[in-house]
Amino acid sequence: MAARGLLARRGPGYLAAGWAVPGPGYLAAGWAVPGPGCLAAGWAVPGPGCLAAGWAVPGPGYLAAGWAVPGPGCLAAGWAVPSRGYRRPGLPVDNPPPWSRLHWDWRKGLESVSRHWGLLREEALGRLRGPGGRPLRQELLEQNRVLWQAQGPGSLKYWLLSSDQEIGGRSRARLSVGSNGRTALLTGELNTEPPRDGETRYSGYCSLRSRPLKGAFDLKKYYDLSNFNTLYLRVRGDGRPWMVNISSQMYFTHQKDDLYNYFLFTQGGPYWQDVKIPFSKFFLSSRGRIQDNQHPLWLDKIHTIGFTLGDKVNGPFQLEIDFIAVCNDRAHTEEFAYEKYKRNPEV
């Protein structure tokens, strides 16, 4: 009777659209025949037409897991199937067709292949010379190393600049060359007003991060700083406190947001400031939260180095960087400055 009522309500177009009328086998499989209440709520029964379209008909285990099958009433209510990507409220939908991302250029392709084969040849020859492409004697006796030094506009391409504009904020940041042409000057304005999207509560940050190292065919490379114990910076700021960030390659994917941080207090004024920060002082954080389970920084696979400003003070800021280096301070013997907790302490 329920099947006849369903067919009578849907009509011949219901079968033409590929919908199946539930019968005795439907009841034997453990399915309940939808009644007038289901139709009034806008639910539909999937049939062969759904299978032809590539949809799978949910079985009893599907209902046991607590899942429900959306019907026309859901579409009429304005609900849509969520996609894999996340889009912040207020941003326009960016869903270009797949073929729009394809750009065929044989000349650039051949140049890229030639460049990567050249990089592969240099890496192979460097391994023959010694670790890191340097002789073994130099690697063992090295006491300091310059990781980056400003040498004109070409040296700015090694940095990535970001701010809270990515989440709808109003802070601004700009990276340029200093007045003498031999430094990197980070300037901008911090604004702590959160975006009006009904979701974000806090805002106001600017960040400068080094580009990840890449080798031949875009394979990941890392800084091996295991022979050093101190980070050496030469900067000139405006008196604001900054955060120095170091990211290291972790074993698991859920640790991709882990960072090691330490504070950088600039003095302001026209004088340069030489800052030495031992690696043992850096503490572990994840997405801005300090972790209880602390452990020392792994120096053999350093990924990026960066600076972040988020002191919640509106107004302009300025940070000038001369060079970033590492050194081996023999007077510093500390392994780790913070207590390392054990989840299951020994009795």
Residue type, 142: E
Taken as a whole, the chain contains a residue count of 347
Q: Residue 332: its pLDDT value, please?
A: 92
More confident residue, 163 or 135: 163
Res. 347: pLDDT tops 80: no
CA–CA gap between residue 259 and residue 282 (Å, rounded): 9
Average pLDDT over residues 298-320: 94
**Residue 36: other Cβ atoms inside 10 A:** 11
Global confidence as pTM: 0.66
98-137 CB burial, b ≥16 within 10 A, e <16: eeeeeeeeeeeeeeeeeeeeebeeeeeeeeeeeeeeeeee
Tell me how far apart the alpha carbons of residues 261 and 256 are, in angstroms, rounded to a whole number.
15
Say yes or no to pLDDT of 1 above 70: no
Residue with tokens 């792994």: 298
CA distance 69 to 57: 9
Examine the pLDDT at 318 and tell me if it is beyond 70. yes
Q: Give the angle 28-31-36 at the CA atoms, nearest 5°.
A: 125
Of the CA atoms within 13 Å of residue 192, those in its CB half-sphere come to 8
Secondary structure of residue 62 in the 3-state scheme: helix
- Between strands 315-327 and 184-190, the pairing is antiparallel
Instruction: Say how far apart CA 133 and CA 122 lie, in whole Å.
Output: 9
Q: Per-residue pLDDT tens for 74-129?
A: 333 333 333 345 566 666 777 788 777 777 788 888 888 898 898 888 888 888 88
Mean pLDDT across the chain:
76
Residue 222 makes CB contacts below 8 A (sequence gap 6+) with: 213, 249, 300, 301, 302, 303
pLDDT tier for residue 211 given thresholds of 50, 70 and 90: very high
Q: What is the pLDDT of residues 214-241, one digit of tens each?
A: 888 888 888 999 999 999 999 999 999 9
pLDDT per position as a tens digit, 139-188: 788 899 999 999 888 899 999 999 999 888 999 999 999 988 889 999 99
Contacting residues for 92 by C-beta, under 8 A, at least 6 apart: none
8 Å CB contact between 306 and 259: no
Query: Distance between CA atoms of 186 and 259, rounded to whole angstroms?
Result: 21
Residue 271 has pLDDT above 50, yes or no: yes
Going from the C-alpha of 268 to that of each of 151, 186, 312, 318, the distances in angstroms are: 23, 14, 18, 9
- The percentage of the chain sitting over the pLDDT mark of 70, rounded to a whole number, equals 72
d(CA 106, CA 112): 10
The alpha carbon of 41 is separated from its chain's Cα centroid by a whole number of angstroms, namely 42
DSSP assigned state of 341: -
Which residue is listed with tokens 């452990």? 295
Per residue, the 3-state secondary structure of 77-125, as one string, reads CCCCCCCCCCCCCCCCCCCCCHHHHCCCCHHHHHHHHHHHHHHHHHHHH
Look up residue 299 and give its amino acid.
L
Nearest CA to 21 out of 7, 11, 8 is that of 7
